[in-house]
C-alpha cells in the first residue's frame, strides 16, 4: 500500500510538472488583422471616359490561439454585393471557424476560406488588383459554410478535402445540396507548385468543376497559369464553360515589381442547343501594371486592364487604375 501511494504521488508530481511546463511554454493569444482595397480608375468605352474613386473591400478580423492545436478566426467582409453594381456596401461574415492542427493534419469547421481560391490567389499575388480566375468568373465561392481537412504527406505532396454548402458565404441558408471537393498539391521544390482540383454538387443536374494550376516563384521571376472547366454551371444542363489564365511577374527590387496577366473565358459547347449561353460575359482580359511597396503593409499599383468581349458587336473596355492595399 505504501509503495502504491509512492507511485501515485510520483505520477501526480510528474504530470503536474509536465502540465506546468506546457503552460509556461504556451500562452493563449490573439491578434486583430485588417485589409483594405481601394482604387481610382478611368474607364474608357467607345472613346468616352468615366472616372471614379472606389472602396472595393474592407476586411476586419480577429484570430485567437486557444492552445498549440486549437485556434479560431472570425473575419468580416465589407464590400459591394453586386461587384460594381450600385456601389453600396454590405457586411458579411467571410470566416468564422474552429481549427485543429496536429503535425501535418489540419481540420476546420464553420465558415471557411477554400483552399482552391487561396492557392490561386497566392500564386497570382495581386488580389487587391484583380481576383483569381475562378473567383472572377464565378466558377465557385472563395469561402463557404462546411468542413475542411488537409494532410501533408511529405514535403512533396499534400491533399485537401471539403464538404460545403455550395452557395458561398453570402448565402448560408441550409438545404440538401452540398458541394464535395478534392485537391492535390505537388511541390517538387520550394519554387514550384502543381495543383489538381475537382468538385461536384448536384440538384436536378450535377455541376462538376475540374482545374489544374502550375506556378513557379523564383528570386526575381514568378510565373504561373491555370485551366478551368465547369460542366452544367449553376446546375443547369448544357451550360458548360472553360477558360485559362496566365501571368508573369518580375521583381525588380524589394519595393518594385512589374506584372502582366491574360485571361480567356469561353462558354461555347459544340453541338449544344445553348451554345454561347454566356456570350455576354465571355471574352479576353489583359492586365499590365507595376507595384510599389514603400513600407510593410502598403502596396500601390498603377495598371491598365483591357477587356475584349466575345459577343458580336460588343465594345471593348479599357480601364486605367490606381489600386492601393493597406494591411495591418
pLDDT at 86: 55
Cell of 273: 442547343
pLDDT at 89: 76
State how far the Cα of 265 lies from the Cα of 278, in Å rounded to an integer: 10
pLDDT at 174: 63
pLDDT at 30: 94
Residue labelled with grid coordinates 488583422: 33
pLDDT at 63: 96
Q: How many CB atoms lie within 10 A of CB 96?
A: 18
Handedness of CA 56, 80, 35, 99 (dihedral sign): negative
- Cα–Cα–Cα angle for 165, 166, 171, nearest 5°? 75
State how far the Cα of 63 lies from the Cα of 325, in Å rounded to an integer: 21
Distances (CA, A) of 30 to 27, 50, 62, 74, 289: 10, 44, 7, 11, 36
Torsion angle (degrees, nearest 10) of CA 309, 206, 203, 278:
10
224-237: buried (b, 16+ CB within 10 Å) or exposed (e) per residue?
bbbbbbbbbbebee
State how far the Cα of 223 lies from the Cα of 193, in Å rounded to an integer: 11
State how far the Cα of 250 lies from the Cα of 159, in Å rounded to an integer: 30
> Would you say 287 and 323 are in contact if contact means Cβ atoms under 8 Å apart?
no
**What is the residue-level pLDDT of the chain in tens, covering all 328 positions?**
444 444 444 444 444 544 454 455 888 999 999 999 999 999 988 778 889 999 999 999 999 999 999 999 999 999 876 654 555 778 889 999 999 999 999 999 999 999 999 999 999 999 999 999 999 999 999 999 999 999 999 999 999 999 998 888 877 666 678 999 999 999 999 999 999 999 999 988 999 999 999 999 999 999 999 999 999 998 988 889 899 999 999 999 999 999 999 999 998 654 444 456 888 889 999 999 999 999 999 999 999 999 999 888 888 999 999 999 999 9
pLDDT at 10: 45
State how far the Cα of 29 lies from the Cα of 71, in Å rounded to an integer: 10
State how far the Cα of 296 lies from the Cα of 303, in Å rounded to an integer: 21
Q: How many helices (H) and strands (E) does the chain have?
A: 3, 16
Which domains does the chain possess? Answer: 37-327 (2.40.160.10)
Q: Map residue 25 onto helix, strand or coil.
A: helix
State how far the Cα of 274 lies from the Cα of 237, in Å rounded to an integer: 9
pLDDT at 214: 97
Q: What backbone phi and psi angles, to 5 degrees, belong to 181? A: -135, 150
Q: What backbone phi and psi angles, to 5 degrees, belong to 294? A: -65, -35
State how far the Cα of 116 lies from the Cα of 131, in Å rounded to an integer: 13
Amino acid at each position: 500500500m505504501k509503495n502504491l501511494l509512492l507511485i501515485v504521488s510520483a505520477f501526480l508530481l510528474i504530470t503536474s510538472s509536465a502540465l506546468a511546463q506546457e503552460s509556461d511554454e504556451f500562452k493563449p493569444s490573439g491578434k486583430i488583422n485588417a485589409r483594405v482595397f481601394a482604387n481610382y480608375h478611368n474607364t474608357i468605352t467607345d472613346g468616352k471616359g468615366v472616372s471614379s474613386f472606389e472602396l472595393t473591400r474592407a476586411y476586419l478580423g480577429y484570430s485567437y490561439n486557444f492552445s498549440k492545436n486549437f485556434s479560431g478566426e472570425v473575419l468580416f467582409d465589407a464590400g459591394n454585393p453586386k461587384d460594381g453594381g450600385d456601389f453600396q456596401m454590405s457586411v458579411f461574415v467571410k470566416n468564422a471557424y474552429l481549427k485543429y492542427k496536429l503535425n501535418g493534419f489540419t481540420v476546420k469547421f464553420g465558415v471557411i476560406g477554400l483552399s482552391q481560391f487561396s492557392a490561386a490567389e497566392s500564386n497570382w499575388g495581386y488580389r487587391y488588383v484583380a481576383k483569381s480566375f475562378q473567383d472572377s468568373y464565378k466558377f465557385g465561392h472563395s469561402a463557404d459554410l462546411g468542413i475542411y481537412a488537409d494532410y501533408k504527406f511529405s514535403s512533396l505532396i499534400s491533399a485537401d478535402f471539403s464538404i460545403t454548402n455550395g452557395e458561398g458565404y453570402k448565402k448560408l441558408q441550409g438545404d440538401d445540396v452540398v458541394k464535395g471537393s478534392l485537391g492535390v498539391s505537388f511541390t517538387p521544390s520550394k519554387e514550384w507548385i502543381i495543383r489538381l482540383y475537382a468538385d461536384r454538387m448536384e440538384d436536378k443536374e450535377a455541376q462538376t468543376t475540374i482545374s489544374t494550376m502550375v506556378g513557379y516563384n523564383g528570386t526575381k521571376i514568378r510565373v504561373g497559369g491555370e485551366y478551368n472547366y465547369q460542366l452544367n454551371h449553376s446546375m443547369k444542363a448544357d451550360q458548360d464553360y472553360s477558360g485559362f489564365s496566365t501571368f508573369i511577374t518580375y521583381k525588380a527590387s524589394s519595393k518594385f515589381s512589374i506584372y502582366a496577366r491574360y485571361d480567356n473565358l469561353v462558354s461555347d459547347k459544340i453541338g449544344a442547343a445553348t451554345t454561347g449561353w454566356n456570350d455576354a460575359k465571355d471574352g479576353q482580359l489583359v492586365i499590365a501594371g507595376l507595384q510599389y511597396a514603400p513600407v510593410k503593409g502598403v502596396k500601390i499599383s498603377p495598371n491598365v486592364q483591357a477587356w475584349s468581349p466575345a459577343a458580336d458587336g460588343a465594345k471593348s473596355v479599357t480601364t486605367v487604375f490606381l489600386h492601393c492595399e493597406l494591411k495591418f
